[in-house]
Amino acid sequence: MPEVSRERRLELASDADELLRSPAFDRVVNHLVAEQVKSLVGNPIGSLTATEAHATLRALDSLKATLRAIASDRAMVEKQG
């Protein structure tokens, strides 16, 4: 992965924080989660649809975790000066 400048890391951290605090982002993610939970519950365990729903839920969770990690990177970048 190419090296990212301090300024770019701060910009990405700010963008990630803004996204995580966005009510619109929260509504969209909650809607996607609800849709996938319906698919998961409404289909037999192991079916392709249930498997896809589970994978999508994991991807959404991973996305939010990655955004939180990027947002928290700001403090470390600022400490480094």
> Domain ranges in the chain?
6-80
**pTM score:** 0.82
Hey, what are 32's tokens?
A: 């996607």
Q: What is the pLDDT of residues 34-79, one digit of tens each?
A: 999 999 999 999 999 999 999 999 999 999 999 999 999 876 666 6
Task: Label residues 35-50 b or e (16+ Cβ within 10 Å = b).
Answer: ebeebbeeeeeeeeeb
